[in-house]
Chains A and B, each alone.
Chain A
C-alpha cells in the first residue's frame, strides 16, 4: 500500500465559547490511503465536521488547532501559508458540501461558477474551462450539459445541483474529495443514485475521499474504511466489512443495534443507548462513553483507555475490547424483544374518504381580476382508514402529499373535497367548527422539535395549558401540575423539567415534551409527522420505543409519516405509499415490504441504504426527477419514471386499484400475480439512459413539462 494521501495525527481542536477554550476534538488520527473512501461517522456534536473542516483548512473563526498535525504530501497544512494553501485547496483537496443550494451563487449561471474553478486553479481559458465543465457534467450523467450550464442554480432540482457540485469538485482532478453529508438533503431515490455515482466516479478519478455522515446505511454502502467518533474522540476505526460484521467498541455496537430494520416488524423493540452525549464542556477525562456504556467497569471511569491496534487494520479505544472480540460479553443485545399488545380492533378510529386538496396562489390582484393562478394539486382522491389501536404508516418522498394529508386530517389545511369520520362520527374539515372532543381526540407530534415548543413558555406551562384546554373534566391547578409531572415521567423525563424552557432541552428531550403534550388529554389518534427525522440515530431509537410504549399503555392509534421506510415499518401495522398526491399502494406492513409491490415502492425499497456492507445493493435508478404536481403526468402519475412501464396504456389510462384477498391494494396496470412474477425475477434493467434535464424541477409555469408528461 502506498503512502496515505492525507494523514491527520493526534489532532486536537478547541472552540472558544465565551471566555474559555473548550475541547471539541481530541487526539484524532485519520489516515486516508489513495483510492480509499474513508467514512467519518458520528452523531451531532461528535466533532466529525470539525475534523473535516480542519482538513480543508476551513475551521470557524473561534476554533484553533491546539495539538497535532495534518499532513498532506508531508506538508503540514497547519503551518502552510495562505498562498500555498490556495494551491492545494480546491485544486488537490475539494469539497462537496451538505447544503448545496447555499454553496452556489444564485445570481451566476452554472457555467460561470464551474469554469471559475478550473480557470483559477488550472489556468484554463474561457473556452477550455467551458468545455471542461460540459465534460465534467457528462461525467456525472447529465445528458444535456449545455442546458444545465446555461441555467441558474434555482432552476435546478436538489439532486441536479448535487451533481453539479460533485462535477465541480472533481473538475480539478483532486487527490482528496471531502464529502460532508452530501445526500442528507435529498430524497431516498435521489440519494441512492448520487451514492452510486460517487462510488464509481471516485474510483474512476483515482481520488481518495473522506465521507462525513451520521447515516450508517450510506456509510456501509459507500465506504471502504470507517472511523467512528464520539464526543470528539475516535472510538473505533476499521475496514467497513469488519466494523459492520463485528463492532468491537460498545458505542459502535449500540449505534448498529438501535437502527430500525424492516425485518424486525412492528412487534419488536429497539436497543437504546441510555443518556445523551456529553456537551463541549462536560467531557470526562476518563472514557467519554463510560457514562452510557452498559459494560463500563471501574477502570473505565478512572483513566482514558488508549486507542489500541486490534489487528487487521482496526483500532479500538476500549479496555474490554478483547472480551468483546472473544464474544464473552455483548454490549447491546441485538435480539429484539417481543411484547404483548392488544390486537388492533376491527373498528376504525379514523377514516378519510376521497380527500382532495389544491393549493392556489391567489393574491389580491388575482381576486380582483378574477384570474385563477396556477395551483398545485397536493392531494387527489385519497382515502385511508385507521383501525383502532393500530399504527398507520404513510411513506413518500418530498412533494408526495403525505404532510398535506396529515394536515387535512388535523384541519390545519381545509380539504377541498372529501369527508372525515372520527370513531364513526363525521367531523368537520374546518378547524373552527371542531368541537372540544374532536380536538382532544386528534393530537399531533410535529417534525421539528425546535419549533413545536414555544421558547417563551416552560415545559409545565406548555403541557399544563393543553390539559387545561382539552381534558374532559376541569381540574384544579395542583391536579393539572400533578398530571403534567406524571406525563413527564411517562415520557422518561424527571419532574425537574417542569420549570425548564425549551432552550435548555436537547432535541430528543424537546420531542419527548411534545409527545407528552400530544398524549396529555388522552387522545384517540396521534399523528406524528416525521417524528424522528431531525434526531440522531440513538435518540431516534429512544423516541420510537417511547411511541411504541405509549401505544400500549395509552391505547391510542397513530398515523406515522416518514420518508424512511425502516422507521415506518418499525412502527406501522398498515402502510400506505404516496406519490404525487395519490396513494399508489396500501396494505399490511409486511405485505407492502414484499412483492408484489407498486413499481414505485419497489424502487423506494431498493434505494434504502442497508447498514450492511455485505449487502451491496443496486438501487433501481428512477429516471428524471419527481414531476411537479403542477404538471401531473396523465394516466398513471408514475409512468414518466417507471422502470416497469408497460406501454402507452400507462400514459393514457388511470391504472385500476388491484386488491388481493388480504386487502393489499396496488394501483397498477399489471395484474398482481404478473407483477409479483416479474419482480421476483429481478430488478428492472437499467434504462441505460442518463438523466434528462428536468424541466419541471423549477416548478414554474412555462418550464418544460417532464418527459412524456402533459395534462
Chain B
C-alpha cells in the first residue's frame, strides 16, 4: 500500500514537541514552582547539609563538658548555662556543653533517623501496596484488613508499647548490631516503619487499583511479562507521584514523632543530642537560661515547616501536570 496515504502533515508535528518533558525539569518545577516551595526547598537542603556534615563542622563534641581551660581561662570549672557569646555562638547548657555543637550533632538523630525509617517504610510499603493492589482477591482482602487494623491503633500508643517492649529486649541481647546502632535507634526505626508501612501501602494500593485494569497492563500480561516487570516497570511510574508526596509528608510526621518521643524521654537516649530531648532537658532551666530552649524548638519548627512547604510544592506541581 502507498505509505503516503497515512503520512501526517507537518502542521501537526509542529505544536507537539518531539520529546516528552524531561524528568529533571518536572522535578525542578516541583521544587521551585512557587516562592513558598523555594523557601521549603532551601530549608530542606540546609537541614540535609547539616545532617551530613554537622559533626564535622561542630566546634566541640556533643558530650564534651566545656571547662574554663578550653577557652583559655584559669578555672577548670565547667562553663554551665552561658548565654550566647563569640565563644559559644548559641551558648552552653546546664551541664556546660556547647549548644551549637549539640544541635549540629543532633541533626543526625532528628533528621537522619526519620529519613532512614521513612525510606525503609516507602520501600516496603510501596512494594506491598503494589503487590496486593495488583494481585487483588483473597490475598488483598486479608492483607488489607491486617493493615487497616494496624492503622486504627493511634501512632503514639503503638510507639509507647513498642518501645517499652523492644528496648529492654534489645538491650538484653549482646548482638553486635545493637551495639553499633544503639537499642533506641533500632527500636525507633522499627516503630516508624511499623506505623508507616500500612499507610504507605494503602496509598500505593489505591493508586495501583486505578491503573491495574488499563489496556497497557493487560497488554503486558499478554506478552508474557512477569509480575515484577508489571509492578515496577509498568505500574510504578504511575504510582510514584502519589508516593513521593506521601513520603515527604510522612517524613515530617516522623520527625515530629521522634522529637515528641525524645521530649517524653522515650526516644533517642542521652547523651545523644536529639532535639526533642534537648527541649526536655532545657525545660527545667526555662527562666535562668531560656536560650537553651529556643534553639532546639526553633530548629524543630523550621525543619517541619520546610518539609511541609516542599511537599506542598511537589503536590501542587504534580496536580498541575494532570
Distance in angstroms from B220 CB to nearest chain A CB is 8
Q: Which residues between 127 and 153 of chain B lie within 8 Å of chain A, taking CB atoms?
A: 138, 141-142
Mark interface residues in B2-23 (1 if CB within 8 Å of A CB, else 0): 0111111101111111111000
Distance in angstroms from B10 CB to nearest chain A CB is 9
* B20 near A500: Cβ-Cβ < 8 Å: yes
* B223 near A279: Cβ-Cβ < 8 Å: no
Q: Which residues between 207 and 224 of chain B lie within 8 Å of chain A, taking CB atoms?
A: 214-216, 218-219, 221-224
Instruction: Tell me the bound Cα distance from A534 to B208 in angstroms.
Output: 25
Interface bracket on A: 35 or more
Q: Which of these, A282, A292, A454, A489, contacts B15 with CB under 8 Å?
A: A282
* B223 near A492: Cβ-Cβ < 8 Å: no
Task: Supply 18 A–B pairs (Cβ within 8 Å), ascending by A.
Answer: A272-B5, A275-B12, A282-B11, A367-B138, A412-B222, A431-B222, A434-B224, A442-B222, A444-B219, A444-B222, A446-B219, A451-B216, A454-B237, A469-B223, A494-B7, A499-B18, A509-B8, A553-B1
Q: List the B side residues contacting A504 at CB < 8 Å.
A: 16-17, 20
* B18 near A282: Cβ-Cβ < 8 Å: no
* B20 near A274: Cβ-Cβ < 8 Å: no
Distance in angstroms from A126 CB to nearest chain B CB is 43
Distance in angstroms from A514 CB to nearest chain B CB is 8
Mark interface residues in A482-495 (1 if CB within 8 Å of B CB, else 0): 00000001011110
| Nearest opposing residue in chain A for B141, CB measure | A364
Q: List the B side residues contacting A275 at CB < 8 Å.
A: 7-9, 11-12
Counting residue pairs across A and B whose Cβ atoms lie within 8 Å, the total is 116
| Nearest opposing residue in chain A for B1, CB measure | A549
Q: List the A side residues contacting B214 at CB < 8 Å.
A: 451-452, 454
* A412 near B237: Cβ-Cβ < 8 Å: no
Mark interface residues in A555-584 (1 if CB within 8 Å of B CB, else 0): 000000000000000000000000000000
* A503 near B20: Cβ-Cβ < 8 Å: yes
Which 9 residue pairs spanning A and B have beta carbons closest together? Answer: A492-B6, A452-B215, A456-B237, A446-B215, A501-B20, A275-B9, A454-B216, A549-B1, A504-B16
| Nearest opposing residue in chain A for B214, CB measure | A451
B238 lies within 8 A of chain A by Cβ: yes
Instruction: Tell me the bound Cα distance from A453 to B177 in angstroms.
Output: 47
B225 lies within 8 A of chain A by Cβ: yes
Instruction: Tell me the bound Cα distance from A363 to B5 in angstroms.
Output: 52
| Nearest opposing residue in chain B for A444, CB measure | B222
Q: List the A side residues contacting B260 at CB < 8 Å.
A: none
Q: Which of these, B9, B18, B142, B237, contacts A291 with CB under 8 Å?
A: B9
Q: List the A side residues contacting B142 at CB < 8 Å.
A: 364
A239 lies within 8 A of chain B by Cβ: no
Q: List the B side residues contacting A512 at CB < 8 Å.
A: 6
Which of B12, B14, B142, B223 neighbours the largest number of chain A CB atoms within 10 Å of its CB?
Answer: B223
Instruction: Tell me the bound Cα distance from A509 to B9 in angstroms.
Output: 13
| Nearest opposing residue in chain A for B235, CB measure | A454
Q: List the A side residues contacting B17 at CB < 8 Å.
A: 504
Instruction: Tell me the bound Cα distance from A97 to B187 in angstroms.
Output: 60
Distance in angstroms from B57 CB to nearest chain A CB is 41
Q: Say whether, besides A282-B11, A500-B18, A546 and B6 are in contact (CB < 8 Å).
A: yes
| Nearest opposing residue in chain A for B238, CB measure | A456
Q: Say whether, besides A493-B8, A496-B13, A469 and B224 are in contact (CB < 8 Å).
A: yes
B234 lies within 8 A of chain A by Cβ: yes
Instruction: Tell me the bound Cα distance from A469 to B225 in angstroms.
Output: 8
Interface residue count on the B side (C-beta < 8 Å)? 34
Q: Which of these, B12, B215, B216, contacts A282 with CB under 8 Å?
A: B12
* A274 near B141: Cβ-Cβ < 8 Å: no
| Nearest opposing residue in chain A for B6, CB measure | A492
* B222 near A454: Cβ-Cβ < 8 Å: no
Q: Which of these, A448, A491, A509, A553, contacts B215 with CB under 8 Å?
A: A448
Q: Which residues between 44 and 77 of chain B lie within 8 Å of chain A, taking CB atoms?
A: none
* B12 near A410: Cβ-Cβ < 8 Å: no
Q: Say whether, besides A452-B216, A458-B20, A276 and B9 are in contact (CB < 8 Å).
A: yes
* B8 near A452: Cβ-Cβ < 8 Å: no
Instruction: Tell me the bound Cα distance from A499 to B20 in angstroms.
Output: 8
* B12 near A276: Cβ-Cβ < 8 Å: yes
Q: List the B side residues contacting A272 at CB < 8 Å.
A: 5-6
Instruction: Tell me the bound Cα distance from A246 to B318 in angstroms.
Output: 51
Instruction: Tell me the bound Cα distance from A552 to B4 in angstroms.
Output: 18
Q: Which residues between 457 and 514 of chain A lie within 8 Å of chain B, taking CB atoms?
A: 458, 462, 465-466, 469-470, 489, 491-494, 496, 499-501, 503-506, 509, 512, 514
Instruction: Tell me the bound Cα distance from A469 to B8 in angstroms.
Output: 30
Chain B contacts to A: CB under 8 angstroms: 1, 3-9, 11-20, 138, 141-142, 214-216, 218-219, 221-225, 234, 237-238
Distance in angstroms from B98 CB to nearest chain A CB is 50
Which of A279, A292, A364, A456 neighbours the largest number of chain B CB atoms within 10 Å of its CB?
Answer: A456
* A451 near B12: Cβ-Cβ < 8 Å: no
Mark interface residues in A342-384 (1 if CB within 8 Å of B CB, else 0): 0000000000000000000001100100000000000000000
Q: Which of these, A274, A364, A434, A436, contacts B9 with CB under 8 Å?
A: A274
* B15 near A281: Cβ-Cβ < 8 Å: yes
| Nearest opposing residue in chain B for A461, CB measure | B233
Distance in angstroms from A364 CB to nearest chain B CB is 4
Mark interface residues in A415-434 (1 if CB within 8 Å of B CB, else 0): 00000000000000001001
Q: Which of these, A274, A451, A501, A552, contacts B5 with CB under 8 Å?
A: A274
Q: List the B side residues contacting A493 at CB < 8 Å.
A: 6, 8
Instruction: Tell me the bound Cα distance from A284 to B215 in angstroms.
Output: 36
Distance in angstroms from A694 CB to nearest chain B CB is 28
| Nearest opposing residue in chain A for B138, CB measure | A364
| Nearest opposing residue in chain B for A468, CB measure | B223
Distance in angstroms from A499 CB to nearest chain B CB is 5
* A451 near B8: Cβ-Cβ < 8 Å: no
Instruction: Tell me the bound Cα distance from A274 to B13 in angstroms.
Output: 14
Distance in angstroms from B183 CB to nearest chain A CB is 40
| Nearest opposing residue in chain B for A490, CB measure | B3
Distance in angstroms from A18 CB to nearest chain B CB is 11
Instruction: Tell me the bound Cα distance from A33 to B18 in angstroms.
Output: 48
Instruction: Tell me the bound Cα distance from A412 to B221 in angstroms.
Output: 8
Distance in angstroms from B75 CB to nearest chain A CB is 67
| Nearest opposing residue in chain A for B225, CB measure | A469
Q: Which residues between 127 and 154 of chain A lie within 8 Å of chain B, taking CB atoms?
A: none
Distance in angstroms from A271 CB to nearest chain B CB is 10
* B12 near A506: Cβ-Cβ < 8 Å: yes
Instruction: Tell me the bound Cα distance from A452 to B17 in angstroms.
Output: 22
Instruction: Tell me the bound Cα distance from A234 to B225 in angstroms.
Output: 50
Distance in angstroms from A284 CB to nearest chain B CB is 8
* A282 near B6: Cβ-Cβ < 8 Å: no
* A410 near B222: Cβ-Cβ < 8 Å: yes
A443 lies within 8 A of chain B by Cβ: yes
| Nearest opposing residue in chain A for B142, CB measure | A364
Distance in angstroms from B6 CB to nearest chain A CB is 2
20 further interface pairs, Cβ-Cβ under 8 Å (given A275-B9, A431-B222): A274-B4, A274-B5, A282-B12, A412-B218, A442-B222, A454-B216, A455-B238, A469-B223, A470-B224, A489-B3, A492-B6, A493-B6, A496-B13, A500-B16, A504-B16, A505-B16, A506-B12, A514-B215, A545-B1, A546-B6
Q: List the A side residues contacting B20 at CB < 8 Å.
A: 458, 500-501, 503-504
Q: Which of these, B141, B215, B224, contacts A439 with CB under 8 Å?
A: B224
Q: Which residues between 141 and 187 of chain A lie within 8 Å of chain B, taking CB atoms?
A: none
Instruction: Tell me the bound Cα distance from A552 to B142 in angstroms.
Output: 51
Instruction: Tell me the bound Cα distance from A462 to B237 in angstroms.
Output: 14
Instruction: Tell me the bound Cα distance from A275 to B7 in angstroms.
Output: 7
